[in-house]
Amino acid sequence: MTTTTDALSSTGATTLVDTLTANNVRACFANPGTSEMHFVAALDHCPSLRPILCLFEGVATGAADGYGRMADWPACTLLHLGPGYANGAANLHNARRAYTPIVNIIGDHATYHRAYDAPLNSDIMSLARPNSVWCRSAESASEMAAITVEAIRASLTPPNGPVSLILPADTAWSGLRAEPPPKVTAPERARVDSQRIEAIARAVRAAAKPVLLLGHQAALDAGLRQAARLEALGVRVFVDTFIARQPRGAGHFAPARLPYRAEGVKAELAGVDVMILAGTDSPVAFFAYPGQPSSFVPEGCRDISLASRTEDAVHALADLADALEAPLRGPTQELHLPEAPSGKLTPLSVGVSIARHLPENAIVCDDSVTSRDGVTAASSTARPHEVLALTGGSIGIAIPLAIGAAVAKPASKVVCLSGDGAAMYTLQGLWTMARESLDVVTIVFANRSYKILHQEFTRTGAGSPHASAATLLNLTPPDLDWVSLSRGMGVPATRCQTAEEFENCFRRASAEPGPCLIEAVLA
């Protein structure tokens, strides 16, 4: 085995850290173990890479997702062998569906120790590959710089996504001579050719009821501005049900959101004969239901790809709008703040208070599932802000997503929306918010149940839940005490049970820096 010597000025671990920082990787969301100690030691010599301890790997991976969505550049995670990666896999599933660049550093046993099948030994490659767009193990320190650059580039190769770099312990501690770190050039998106643009323009002109569906890059500000031009021309514009990042509020175009349920989609898309896809794929149902279609493309409708997830959707939308001689500007929302709510506390009254007091350029991280529609409806004319949604359907993302967003954009107020069941998956993230003094308001919708599952129980044809089934759908008894849970993690907390109480709490929370939690006990 090779060891570090005085004659060698670097190690595999320091080379890895130096290469990450030379390529603007600025945050490391970490839950390390024994195999990663040399990487941890390397951080002492590199203050530009901020280490952030997360008490559960699902917090680390979700935080890296939030950071990458807002920074348009990867953070890294530091995970302990296969089980550590597995603990974080659910939020990496979400990150893969959000096409978020993330560099996962996964420690491994020393290469010569693997043969002994120690208790933590596992097939890390097989665990990591499903949620990674690139996955490799650095088998020697000499290849560390090259493989790190390859990992960063892979995470930024359209449509982008999480990568996994496996770091054996002996590769981390082995010595080598220091060299200047190589630099990454992020690949550019391919432009859509003019022949495709003109063919789609002809299809739109000939259509009786065309629609445009946006996803991924097309739902960012530049894409929305071009899509608004098509809306002004008479093309109805939708966004995917769950979008990784979308600007909303005053000054932004507000396309309709494709409904979650098949019944809603059928109503919205009735009569549509041409569906143009920009930065997304043909829409499908989240689950199969008895008697319901899996595809949301109406019968007899042509679905045509304007720009795939790997192509430049913004320029494609602009070229299509130009080809159709659309107005140079489309509709945008005007600022309108609703009147203060009163009475019972509902998702809509919560949304009204959020709309009234949401600061300009705030970031809303949304994992509220059954409560989200109330907030979405009320905040469409609020001050300009951005929304990060649950993209992969694996709940427990909002708290970690908010951590990453707050680290990436420290000047922005972050508002975290979560159901009580979802928040229990990653409540350890509150501790990280307190430790890092992150400016996050966490709102927990306390409906004391997995409300979405009550709805799905009936929709799947399973009938009505009785005594045994209900025990798996309800979160009481005992009631979750979110005020105590939050304070125990170091985050100040308040419980609200009326619209007036929530209005006052959120107004104060929006104006004061630092983390806090509001438990919204729904009527």
> Which residues on neighbouring strands pair with residue 311, listed in sequence order?
190
Mention every residue, 6+ apart, whose C-beta is less than 8 A from residue 516.
440, 441, 442, 491, 492, 493, 494, 509
pLDDT of residue 447: 87
Q: Crossing angle, helix 57-71 and helix 89-98, to 10 degrees?
A: 20
Mean pLDDT of 381-387: 97
Mean pLDDT of 466-474: 83
Which token pair is 226?
């071009």
Report the alpha-carbon distance of residue 104 to residue 95 in Å, rounded: 12
Q: Any idea what DSSP says for residue 280? A: S
CATH pick for 347-521 out of 1.10.150.120, 3.40.50.970, 3.90.15.10, 3.10.20.30: 3.40.50.970
Residue 90 CB neighbours (<10 A): 22
Nearest to 285 by CA among 303, 264, 306: 264
pLDDT tens readout for residues 318-359: 999 999 999 999 999 999 999 999 999 999 999 999 999 999
Mention every residue, 6+ apart, whose C-beta is less than 8 A from residue 111.
139, 168, 170, 171
Give the mean pLDDT of the chain. Answer: 94
Mean pLDDT of 289-315: 94
Which token pair is 319?
């070229």
Residues 499, 345 contacting (CB under 8 angstroms): yes
**Is residue 191 classed as helix, strand or coil in its secondary structure?**
coil
Which token pair is 496?
């609200």
Domain boundaries, given as residue ranges, for the chain: 10-176, 194-323, 347-521
5, pLDDT greater than 70: no
pLDDT tens readout for residues 416-447: 999 999 999 999 999 999 999 999 999 999 98
**Is residue 177 classed as helix, strand or coil in its secondary structure?**
coil
Nearest to 503 by CA among 377, 398, 329, 352: 352
The CATH number of the domain covering residues in 10-176: 3.40.50.970
pLDDT of residue 374: 81
Burial letters 23-32, b for 16+ CB under 10 A, else e = bebbbbbbbb
2, pLDDT greater than 60: no
4, pLDDT greater than 80: no
Mention every residue, 6+ apart, whose C-beta is less than 8 A from residue 521.
345, 446, 495, 496, 497
476, pLDDT greater than 90: no
pLDDT of residue 6: 44
Nearest to 376 by CA among 255, 516, 232, 507: 255
Q: What share of the chain is helix, strand, coil (3-state, %, to 5)?
A: 40, 20, 40
pLDDT of residue 8: 62
**Is residue 172 classed as helix, strand or coil in its secondary structure?**
helix
pLDDT of residue 152: 98
Query: Among 48-57, 174-183, 501-510, which stretch is predicted with the lowest mean pLDDT?
Result: 174-183
Report the alpha-carbon distance of residue 262 to residue 201 in Å, rounded: 29
Instruction: Please tell me the total number of residues recorded for the chain in this structure.
Output: 523
Longest dimension (CA), the chain: 75
Report the alpha-carbon distance of residue 58 to residue 92 in Å, rounded: 8
The answer to whether the peptide bond before residue 168 is cis (omega within 30 degrees of 0) is no
CATH architecture of 194-323: 3-Layer(aba) Sandwich (3.40)
pLDDT of residue 373: 83
> Which residues on neighbouring strands pair with residue 334, listed in sequence order?
none
Report the alpha-carbon distance of residue 396 to residue 518 in Å, rounded: 17
> Which residues on neighbouring strands pair with residue 27, listed in sequence order?
50
Classify strands 10-11 and 175-176 as parallel, antiparallel or unpaired.
antiparallel
φ and ψ at residue 461, rounded to 5 degrees: 85, 15
Residue 412 CB neighbours (<10 A): 18
User: What number of helices (H) and strands (E) belong to the chain?
Assistant: 21, 20
Mean pLDDT of 261-283: 94
Q: Do domains 194-323 and 347-521 have the same CATH topology?
A: yes
pLDDT band at residue 262 using 50, 70 and 90 as cut-offs? confident
Residue 323 CB neighbours (<10 A): 17
